[in-house]
Amino acid sequence: MIRQENFGVLPDGRPVQLWRIEAPGGRYAELLTYGATLQTVVVPDKNGDLADVVQGFDTLEGHLLHSDYQGQTVGRYANRISGGFRLGGEFYAVPADANAVFLHGGGEFSHTLWDAELVDEQTVALSYASPDGSYGFPGNVSAVVRYSFDGNTLTIDYFAETDKSTVLNLTNHTYWNLSGNGNILDHILQADAKFYQPVDWRLLPDGVFCSVDGTPFDFRAPKAIGCDIDVSDAQLHIARGYDHHFCLDEGGVVRINDPKSDRTLTMATDMPGFQLYTGNFLSGKPGKGGRALAMHSGFCLETQFPPDTPNSASAADCVFAPERPYRSRTVYSFGTE
């Protein structure tokens, strides 16, 4: 069953809607039309006690004033681009910062109002039209993000069509915490990923994929997220923790277990990899229930093309055109151990 209610009003007077997808046993997921945001996922622990495992804000004002992309859809291009990119012989400049880095599409998809419609009793589709030239990107892009929740799995389907060649890389920026509070350093993570991308001081990769073997980035065997996060590793020092792209093995998944609640999360995707971000720059802003969104209070698994792909040898992977629409799917499965 799906219910809809008002969640607040934007400064320009437009209302923001909250859509709740309810499942058996008191489980539910909530979505906001602002930012096509995943607001809430409530699932049980090993004792059947329910908790919200998504970090965020109780009010629209929290999202407007304090957002670090909590739960939001990111586009047109997730992660970082170095200054601009070439496509079809033309250079497209994007509004980069002082370090020539453009992050998360400038927040265009994340900080705007989407339209929503009911698809079926478990599914809501949110849509947004990005005009040609927005943030320097070519093409009129029509994007749809479809959320489905059955109580055990949350499926996010991304669709986008463009009227001219452009680069696209959509993802979701939820901060997960399977305990519902505290930090996530004791969460056990296992990832089917043999390679990761080192970054420079701007958190931009140079396109090189390095083996995780013998590094703190080796999660092929389960280990606590915080197990190696404080070692004197140059990469962890640069990012203040994990903020790196991992290349998933073919058919690979990511599995997380919280030893306190025994909740589990398994993530599968058809994207080539994911960004593991451990909330290294969260500064303690007030979140749900007044709890501080502090450093390491949540982790992100941002399924995506690698950062700065438009400027790499694999640039064609992220180029889409009228005859090649964008499609991707990420599935989060919840359980207990």
Residue of 22, 30, 108, 302 marked catalytic? 302
Tell me the C-alpha distance between 94 and 21, whole Å. 37
Tell me the C-alpha distance between 219 and 288, whole Å. 30
Q: Quick check: 185 pLDDT over 90?
A: yes
Q: Give 145's strand partners.
A: 126, 158
Q: Quick check: 301 pLDDT over 90?
A: yes
Residue of 63, 104, 173, 187 marked catalytic? 173
Q: Give 167's strand partners.
A: 319
Mean predicted confidence (pLDDT) in 243-259: 97
Query: Which comes out higher in pLDDT, residue 328 or 83?
Result: 328
Reported as a pLDDT band with limits 50, 70 and 90, residue 83 is confident
Q: Which pLDDT score is estimated for 254? A: 98
| Residue 18, helix vs strand vs coil | strand
Phi, psi of 265 (to 5 degrees): -135, 125
Tell me the C-alpha distance between 41 and 209, whole Å. 33
Tell me the C-alpha distance between 287 and 293, whole Å. 6
pLDDT tens per residue across span 11-52: 999 999 999 999 999 999 999 999 999 999 999 999 999 999
| Greatest pairwise CA separation for the chain in angstroms | 59
Q: Which pLDDT score is estimated for 99? A: 87
Tell me the C-alpha distance between 161 and 139, whole Å. 9
DSSP string, 210-279: EE-TTSTT--SS-EETTSSTTS--HHHHHHTS-EEEEEPPTT--EEEE-TTT-EEEEEEESSSEEEEE--
Tell me the C-alpha distance between 177 and 151, whole Å. 17
pLDDT tens per residue across span 129-178: 999 999 999 999 999 999 999 999 999 999 999 999 999 999 999 999 99
Q: Which pLDDT score is estimated for 207? A: 83
Classify 2-336 by CATH class: mainly beta
Phi, psi of 230 (to 5 degrees): -105, 5
Mean predicted confidence (pLDDT) in 280-307: 96
Q: Which pLDDT score is estimated for 231? A: 75
Concerning whether 302 is annotated as a catalytic residue, the answer is yes
Q: Which pLDDT score is estimated for 42? A: 98
Q: Which pLDDT score is estimated for 77? A: 97
- Percent residues over pLDDT 70 in the chain: 100
Concerning whether 161 is annotated as a catalytic residue, the answer is no
Q: Which pLDDT score is estimated for 230? A: 80
- Percent residues over pLDDT 90 in the chain: 96
Q: Is 196 left (phi over 0), alpha (psi -120 to 50) or beta?
A: beta
Mean predicted confidence (pLDDT) in 54-70: 97
Query: Which comes out higher in pLDDT, residue 96 or 142?
Result: 142
pTM of this structure: 0.97
Sorted by where each begins, the domain ranges of the chain are: 2-336
Give the Cβ contact number of residue 177 at 10 Å.
Answer: 26
Q: Which pLDDT score is estimated for 150? A: 98
DSSP string, 65-124: HH-S-TT-EE-SB-SEESSEEEETTEEEE----TTS-EEGGGGTTTTSBPEEEEEETTEE
Those residues whose C-beta lies under 8 Å from the C-beta of residue 45, and which sit 6 or more positions away, are 51, 261, 262, 263, 336
